[in-house]
Amino acid sequence: MSTTKGLEGVVATTSGVSSIIDGVLTYHGYGIDDLADYASFEEVVYLLWNHKLPNKEELSTFNKQLASAAKVPDEVLDQMKMYPIDKVHPMAALRTAVSALALYDEDADEQDETANYQKALKLQAQLPTIVTSFSRIRQGKDPIAPKEDLSFAANFLYMLNGEIPDEVSEKAINKALVLHADHELNASTFTARVCVATLSDMYSGVTAAIGALKGPLHGGANERVMAMLSEIGQVEKAESYIKDALERKVKIMGFGHRVYKDGDPRAKHLREMSRQLTNITGETKWYDMSVKIDEIVTNEKGLLPNVDFYSASVYHSLGIEHDLFTPLFAVSRVSGWIAHILEQFENNRLIRPRAEYTGPDHQNWVPMEKR
């Protein structure tokens, strides 16, 4: 029996949701560059779930469906107020709250197409409400209900700080959401598919995926990037900090990607957003520092930045708390998780790989008195 550590290069399933071929990322065949430049996040969600871009009427209907599903049950918000606010990470809060949503959905365990689509709408619409509500609750503020006339991206920022965002900020969040929506069979998506392949429910699949995304080797990387930038503090200190870290063989978060050998195609979009936003805020040091680190790591190690690296300074420039970076990732990626969950349900087979045994063998039972 041959094994591959981390299942690297192993093809585990077929999928029509997204592809990474020769370093090019597509959603249902549409290139990520075109989607990032021209599409609204709502269009991308519709594409992922329905396998086609919506026309004007379809998009209008879909936007209304999302808006009407965005309210989180009061019971879940009340539970969030009981969390140990000063200790819990927002990803743990999100994981717990999403699991709790199932308790207040009478169709949580229904598996027909209509019920699953309604659950998909609720999960997509309610994750940003949960994330922003938790942020406000821990500040001693009341959650803000979403506005039905705002875009998905604008609503996130509005629910977070109570102000309707400017066009640049809305565009930046929209682009980040589009870039993070799906990424083939990444760790959290694989987790979601393994979970629902048992015919567990969609809430369980998304909760499991959030648990996988929480790790610093997956969604948690962008938060670690910002922690590093904050620790460095000044552009002049970047070179000595990074070279010392490389000498000590410390992993520099936000670099390298298992499936991209010539660079993550999403990174350039976030790099440009970082440049624009840091210029607007007057804190260009975050962009300049990132570029300096990029140059050093690329030259010294041959590693290129991935989607997490420049997203850190983008989110920081938008005033988003650093430990909300990964929950924002989840707000986007739930669209892809759901697309894969729906696809798994359509042609399901229990996912049950084998493991090569490496433990001791031929052991004889030893009675208790002789051990």
Burial class (CB in 10 A: 0-12, 13-18, 19+), 235: middle
166 catalytic residue (yes or no): no
Largest CA distance in the chain: 77
Task: Please state the φ and ψ torsions of residue 179, each to the nearest 5 degrees.
Answer: -65, -30
Alpha carbon separation from 189 to 50, 339, 340 (Å, rounded): 18, 10, 7
Summary count for the chain: helices (H), strands (E): 16, 3
C-alpha angle with apex 105: 179 to 204, nearest 5 degrees?
55
257 catalytic residue (yes or no): yes
Determine the Cα–Cα distance for residues 87 and 141; give it in Å rounded to an integer: 18
* E-only strand ranges, 111-175: none
Report whether 62 contacts 54 (CB < 8 A). yes
Could you give the 3-state DSSP secondary structure of residue 30?
strand
- Cα dihedral 172/177/178/179 (nearest 10): 90
Q: Which of 257, 269, 316, 340 is catalytic?
A: 257
| DSSP 8-state secondary structure symbol assigned to residue 323 | G
Closest-CA residue to 301 (of 355, 238, 342, 250): 250
Q: Which of 201, 308, 316, 340 is catalytic?
A: 308
| Catalytically annotated residues | 257, 308
